[in-house]
Structures are given as C-alpha cells and as structure tokens.
Structure 1
Amino acid sequence: MTTWHRRPLIGLDFETTGVDPETDRIVTGSVVRFGGGLPTEGRTWLSDADGVEIPAEATAVHGVTTEAARAAGRPAGAVVAEITEALAAAVADGLPIVAMNAAFDLTMLDREARRHGVVPLVERVSPYVLDPRVLDKQVDRYRKGRRTLVDLCRHYVVTLDAAHSSEDDATAACSVTWKIANRYRWLSRMGLPELHRAQVHWAAEQARGLRDYFARTPGLEEQAPGVRLEWPVIPVSVGGEPSCPTGP
C-alpha cells in the first residue's frame, strides 16, 4: 500500500500585513504541489491587501511594500477566491494540505474568504491537514530550542534559501513534513483521517502547554488567555476575542 507521504502534498503559505488573522490581510500566498515522484510545481499570488497599509515591520519580513502591493497586486477578493479554489480542487483529489502553523494560515484564509464573500474552504470540503510544527513537537517533544520553519529546516536538513517567500516556505513545509514521516514511519503508516484527528488532539495539548507557560512566566501572563486550542481552523470568534496569539 502506498503511504500518504509517497503521494503528492499540497503546500500552503501566506505572507501577511500582520499576525492577527481576524484583522490582518494576505499580501502573498502560494500553493505548491510537492512530491509523489513529480517535480514541484507552485503558484504565487500577490494581493493588493485591500488597500491596507503594510507595516514596515511586515515589509522587513517578506519584502513587499504597500506601494508594490497596490501597484502590482491583484484584487484581494480574486486572490482569495483562486487560492480557495485551488485548495478545494486538491482536497477533492484526496490530497492533504501542508501548512506550517496551520491554524494561522487556514484561519487567515477563512477570514479573508468571509470578508470578500467567498465560500470558505471548510464549507466546501473537509481537508486533511498536516502541520510540521505539530508533528515535530509530538515526535520530539523534549528537544530544546526554537521550532520556527527555519529551525525545522535546519534540524531535518531541508534547504530553505528564501525564508519568508511564500512559495519557498510552502515547499519547505512539505519537505520537512516528508522528512518527519520518513524518519518516524509510524506516522506515515497512519491514514490521513486518523493522522488529522490525532493532530487535533496533539495541537490542543501543545497549546495548553504554551498557555500554562505564559501563565506562570512573569511578563507573559497577559498572553495566556489568547492561546487557542482549536486546530487547524480557529472558529469565527464571538465577542471580539482574538483568534490566536501569534502568526507564522
């Protein structure tokens, strides 16, 4: 039987105006098809970000200025619709979506879809999602150090030449996920439905640990209430509470 990591993976990554999916906007987005014995293919979209100013600190990360987005970016609603369509088609083909810190990217896409009158992905299909951050924390939970995508690429020996380029990040997330599955074969032997359900529980457990760490660390206590346990999409918030504490 061919395991899921021997079939194509669909990578997703966004670069954004900030780290709050409730209020920030997509600047660039990429969807890549990785693995399965075929060359990696990807498409990247540049959005006009709804005309929202891109803060200097966000530009410092991904390199896109407000002026560039307004001059060359396509209407945000069209970008969101096309990305959602691309993902829905891949899911309909039985392929999983791979996203580093999936709760950020998929929640961002969900809120942008609702903002622009696009039917959200989760109301079209039921995707199976693979999150290399969740997987890595589960298989090697006591390893010290940070676990950004750059850190995971270093640990799993994955090339990432242009970090914070959405296409390169999406590709690297797929490569890291493949490396994790190939190293920890029990993950690759799980079916996608089973592995998705397991990550729901693992992500919640990991978030509880982060929330507890914030709560007991002087100076970080105020961040604890904002840590959400839901994965891979944060439900639409009620009462204006933040959807998640940090972005990618």
Structure 2
Amino acid sequence: MEQTHTSAPPWHLGRMCGFDIESTGVSPERDRIVTACVVQIGGGQPAAAANWLADPSVEIPDGAAAVHGITTEQARAEGRPAGEVVEEIVTALTAVVLSGIPVVAMNAAYDLTMLDREARRHGVQPLADTVGSDLRVVDPFVLDRRVDPYRRGKRTLTDLCRHYQVPLDGAHSADADAVAACRVAWRIASTHGEIGNASVDDLHAMQIGWAREQAESLADYFRRTPGKEDRAKTVRGDWPFVPSQRGGAA
C-alpha cells in the first residue's frame, strides 16, 4: 500500500503565543515591568491568556502611566511583587517554547531584553538560560520592515494594525497588544510567501539576519542625518534580545 505524506500546515495557521510588556519607561536595561500578557491563540483552539500586574518597586513616571494607564499608586495597591511576576512570566514562556509554539512579540528585542534583565535583577533564571536554542520568535516589526522597507511613516503596533487592517482594541494594554501582534504576523505571513511558507526554524534564523541589516541601515541613516549622528551609537542589531553583559543581577 502506497504511503502518503502530509506536510505540516504553515506556522501561521497553527498555535501562536503573543507576548507583550508595558513598563516604567523605554529602556529595557533600566526600566521595570508593570503589566505583561502571555496569550496563546489560533490553531483551532480557544484562546488562553495569562495577565500580570506587578509592583515594580519604583515610581511609574507620569508619561508611562499616560500610555498604559497604570499609576504608581495602583501598582502598589493591586500589583504583586515584581520577582514573583517575573518568575511566572518566564515559566509561562518556557512552557510555550518547549511545546514548540512560536512567541510573537512586536519589537521583540525590547520585551525579551527587559524580561531578561528583570529576571537577573530578581534572581530568576532567565528564559534564554532555560530554553536555550529552542526559542523561536516571530517579530511583526522585523517582518514589516522586511516586506515593505520603503513605506514612509511610523511603524508602531498601532500603525501596523492600521496598515494591515487589524483591529486593535485597547492599544497599550499588554493583552490587547499581544493579540494584535499575532494578528499582524498572521496577516503578513498570509500575503508574503517568503514568510508564510518558511518553517519557524528558518524564519527565526532569517529574522536574526534581517534585524541586523535593518539596524545597520538605521545607524547609517543617523550617521548621514545632521543632528542625529550620535543616535547611530545607540542602535543595536541583536535579536530577539540583547545578551546581558553581566551574569548577575542588574
């Protein structure tokens, strides 16, 4: 009897895990997690979400609170100890990664770097040290710049949702942003064969190169733009996170 071999469905038609952090600021090295979401969607199964609110033990600047809506007072009253939250986030993502599910994160190098630094700060084993080379990430920010490099305008998640006609309810809440990132990734993969037809392993590897090329292009732009030359030094091409320069707590 002749055997038939069925190939696995494209990754974007299977289970995905959205991950998003809202924080005290824009520096993944110095700032702290305030809220986070890990949500599994797709693959013909019901959505499964976990959400966290942490007390970061530092003041939440008014500018950050205006973005995500969590004040210092609310975080202190309702948030859980940051160390516990960080450990639970790492545990949740570890289970996802070891199940072979890709982590979808908009501008992953920000969220995953911040999670790494927070883990080291609170004595939690970092995600990368736990899952090693099993980590597979899909980053709509990198994918969008790959498929449409010359489009003018900003490329925030809100902008990408508008461009790809993806609904975004409650922008800058971690759960809404995590789901929206998955939807944008699905939209890009559905319309660009280079991305949708790649295996998750190959796509992860390709994004490492694309992110590096995109960073080099941005740094070159800064160097050539009067008044922005110094910004070239701050551009990092590491992806999906910036390796820690220290082994211990920050």
Same fold (TM over 0.5): yes
**What is the aligned counterpart of 1:138 among 119, 133, 146?**
146
What is the distance in 2 between the residues matched to 1:128 and 1:101?
Answer: 14
Structure-1 residue corresponding to 2:158: 150
Structure-1 residue corresponding to 2:11: 4
What is the distance in 2 between the residues matched to 1:67 and 1:211?
Answer: 39
Structure-2 residue corresponding to 1:244: none
CA apart distance, 1:21: 1.1
Flag as ranges the 4+ runs of structure 1 deviating above 6 A: none
1:55 aligns with 2:61: yes
**What is the aligned counterpart of 1:65 among 57, 71, 79?**
71
Give the TM-score of the pair, scaled to structure 2: 0.93
- The secondary structure found in structure 2 opposite 1:39 is coil
CA apart distance, 1:40: 2.4
1:28 aligns with 2:24: no
CA apart distance, 1:3: 1.3
Structure-2 residue corresponding to 1:198: 206
CA apart distance, 1:127: 0.7
Structure-1 residue corresponding to 2:108: 102
Root-mean-square deviation (CA, aligned residues, Å) is 1.0
**What is the aligned counterpart of 1:180 among 182, 185, 188?**
188
CA apart distance, 1:222: 1.6
Amino acid at match of 2:171: A
Which of structures 1 and 2 has the bigger CA Rg?
A: 2
What is the distance in 2 between the residues matched to 1:135 and 1:225?
Answer: 24
Identity %: 57
CA apart distance, 1:105: 0.3
Structure 2 unaligned blocks of 5 or more: 1-6
**Which range is displaced more, 157-166 or 136-145?**
136-145
1:214 aligns with 2:222: yes
**Which range is displaced more, 152-161 or 210-219?**
210-219
CA apart distance, 1:185: 2.4
**Which range is displaced more, 169-178 or 214-223?**
214-223
CA apart distance, 1:210: 1.0
Change (3 A) 1:203 1:159: same
What is the distance in 2 between the residues matched to 1:40 and 1:141?
Answer: 32
1:84 aligns with 2:90: yes
**Which range is displaced more, 191-200 or 140-149?**
140-149
- The secondary structure found in structure 1 opposite 2:46 is strand
CA apart distance, 1:139: 0.9
What is the distance in 2 between the residues matched to 1:93 and 1:63?
Answer: 33
Structure 1 unaligned blocks of 5 or more: 239-248
**What is the aligned counterpart of 1:42 among 45, 49, 52?**
49
What is the distance in 1 between the residues matched to 2:140 and 2:222?
Answer: 23
Q: How many residues align?
A: 237
What is the distance in 1 between the residues matched to 2:188 and 2:229?
Answer: 33
1:164 aligns with 2:172: yes
